[in-house]
Structure 1
Amino acid sequence: MQHTPTALIVAGPTCSGKSALAFSLAQLFDGVIINADSMQVYRDLRILTARPSEAEMQAVPHRLYGILDAAENGSVAWWRRHALDEMDAALALGKLPIFCGGTGMYLRALIEGLVEVPDPGPEARAEAREKLAAEGPESLYAALQAIDPDAVSRIAPSDGQRLARVWEVWRGTGETLSWWRRESHLPAASCRFIALRLDPPRDALRAAIAARFDVMLDHGAIEEVTALRARNLPPSLPAMRAHGVPELIAFLDGKMTLAMARERATLATGQYTRRQATWFRHHELASAAQTYNLSQRFDQSAQFSERTLEDLEIFIRARLTRC
């Protein structure tokens, strides 16, 4: 019987201790950590995305961290393609792939597959943004009802960002977004997944978010955003919307105090973690028998006790032996 490869997923909201846990497990199981966070792929955001340190990345193999420039627009399809390549490379070396991150759409594309839409190109994107700015979302919605009624039926008339996406796909590829969803599909990864889902208490998570942002400020977050701001990149780019970036740019522009920027950035991060937690509660990352929930095993320092790691090691090894 053919052996089915196995990979590990360490998932949960921002600041829940995923990176620390993945690092410990990679040491235990001779693993390769593969980034599954949509912001940690940007090299310009080492501090504000709490990317693993150089020492950690030298001690344990880390992949897909800091590999995109802030001027680039990463996509789910782009990440999935590179993540599968890194998974195959790890397995070829006899190592355990460990996907670590909190971007649910990335993990879902890995586990369930993905409709692949080709990149429509910069001209189509620019045209869509210009049309949206000039005519407004309601006008764009009306125009798209005659072009791709199925796609816009799922979008609110005021949701300009998603409407612009429908327009740019049609203009850039010659086919509608609905057509791509219907005709083009990337299958799920040929792999068994063992999932560890972190879901810490809200009060502990809020405290950890605030404490971590203070550490980021002490370690150069303002300088990092200053360098990013100097590039005059479009504010619509994903890297420019990362938590802390718009707020610190507003501080640098004299539009708010540093204390206000800190408060708004931590609030935005906290709101995002609520959406993450909701997403993970409604989407299974693996079968129930292969998912371990660490909801009550979190402490504010993002460290995990020896007992917790021992329990996880037993859980993972038992499932690895069933492959």
Structure 2
Amino acid sequence: MTLDWARTGQGVARRTMARTISLIAGPTASGKSAFALELAARTGAHIVNADSMQVYDGLRVLTARPDADELARAPHHLYGHVPPSVAYSTGQWARDVTDLIARLPPDASLVFAGGTGLYFKALTEGLSPMPDVPDAVRAAFRARLAREGAPALHADLAARDAEGAAMLEPGDGQRVVRALEVLEASGAPLRHWQGRRGDPVLPPETIGARFVLLPERAALNARIESRFDAMIARGALDEVRALRALNLDPDLPAMKAIGVRELGAVLDGAMDEAEAIARAKAATRQYAKRQMTWFRNQFDATWQIVNAAGGTPPPTT
């Protein structure tokens, strides 16, 4: 079964016309949470997570999820609601947003805040409709990945879809498996589905202000440095220890959160803490740079650029 995005979008439209909906995007450590809280204080809005790592339970510190004081200042939704054992998709997030809007009062204002560009694309432009993949098919390819390794599955994909395989790195097990799953379940390659487009989760007329935080690079890097130091002080190492105790597949998205691999090496005795911290900070800086490039290239003139990290939101009218 394919998700009917047109019907979903129409349903959301009926429930959002009385709302004020604002969007806040930006790279990691740019001050999105503080910005969202200030905006929520002005409008009485609910804050909705739009970050693909902050959805995971057990990663409160390393993903910089809102703390108890911040949660008390405004209603927050879709934070930490997904077990780390789940490979949560953009499509599932979009469905969760639709369900959330259906549950909230029709006049409840919303602020979407996060750093995952595809989530904002889903909200404003729509997603490619994807076929359902039976659990048995998914499990079979996951088992093969664990048994044979990503390069072997990449070779299998190349034999069945050479063009699709050429677009993927042989070692990227997660994406190779996804391509094989879709091909097996639907008979069509992944790019066939990606070339189609559904309706946006939020119809354009329901969205008010759109902000993208793009701080100066030096200021952002300094914030990244101090924030990771604070994460260490708040127990990031213990958080990684607890996550690793679950013995999860290392290819799961939660296991790829910045800091998990680096601090895991400390726990294994393969790296000292100072080096792990330096590497995690460097990885965060590189990630922030990629995010900023993506936002600049993908967002149009309807997005208002805010330069100051954590600055005061401009008027929304």
- Correspondence for 1:320: none
Selected match of 2:180 from 167, 170, 183: 167
> Partner letter of residue 176 of structure 1?
P
Residue 26 of structure 1 contacts residue 32 of structure 1 at CA under 8 Å; is this kept in 2? yes
Structure 1 residues 100, 254: closer, same or farther in 2, change over 3 A? same
- Correspondence for 2:107: 94
Work out whether 1:241 is the aligned partner of 2:256.
Answer: yes
| Cα distance in 1 for residues equivalent to 2:133 and 2:298 | 29
Residue 127 of structure 1 contacts residue 168 of structure 1 at CA under 8 Å; is this kept in 2? no
| Cα distance in 2 for residues equivalent to 1:241 and 1:4 | 39
- The structural deviation recorded for 1:132 is 5.3
- The structural deviation recorded for 1:116 is 2.9
- Correspondence for 1:264: 279
* Aligned sequence identity (%): 42
Selected match of 2:157 from 125, 144, 151: 144
Work out whether 1:20 is the aligned partner of 2:20.
Answer: no
Work out whether 1:291 is the aligned partner of 2:298.
Answer: no
Gap runs ≥5 in structure 1 = 318-323
Selected match of 1:75 from 86, 89, 108: 89
- Correspondence for 1:106: 119
Q: How does 1:1-323 map to 2 (within 5 A)?
A: 6-90=20-104, 92-121=105-134, 123-129=136-142, 131=144, 140-145=153-158, 147-152=160-165, 154-155=167-168, 159-173=172-186, 175-181=188-194, 185-188=197-200, 189-190=202-203, 191-284=206-299, 288=301, 290-295=302-307, 297-298=308-309, 302=310, 304=311, 308-309=312-313, 312-313=314-315, 316-317=316-317
| Cα distance in 2 for residues equivalent to 1:107 and 1:27 | 22
> Partner letter of residue 215 of structure 1?
A
CA-to-aligned-CA distance 1:210-254 (integer Å, 9 cap, x gap): 111111111111111111111111111111110111111110010
Count residues with an aligned counterpart: 299
State the SS of the aligned residue for 1:44: coil
Residue 148 of structure 1 contacts residue 177 of structure 1 at CA under 8 Å; is this kept in 2? no
TM-score by length of 1: 0.83
> Partner letter of residue 247 of structure 2?
N
| Cα distance in 2 for residues equivalent to 1:159 and 1:71 | 18
> Partner letter of residue 259 of structure 2?
G
| Cα distance in 2 for residues equivalent to 1:240 and 1:136 | 17
- The structural deviation recorded for 1:23 is 0.6
- The structural deviation recorded for 1:180 is 3.3
TM-score by length of 2: 0.85
Gap runs ≥5 in structure 2 = 1-13
> Partner letter of residue 305 of structure 2?
N
Residue 226 of structure 1 contacts residue 252 of structure 1 at CA under 8 Å; is this kept in 2? yes
Between 1:128-137 and 1:36-45, the stretch displaced more is 128-137
CA-to-aligned-CA distance 1:48-74 (integer Å, 9 cap, x gap): 111111232232010000100111111
State the SS of the aligned residue for 1:69: coil
Between 1:189-198 and 1:27-36, the stretch displaced more is 189-198
Between 1:16-25 and 1:126-135, the stretch displaced more is 126-135
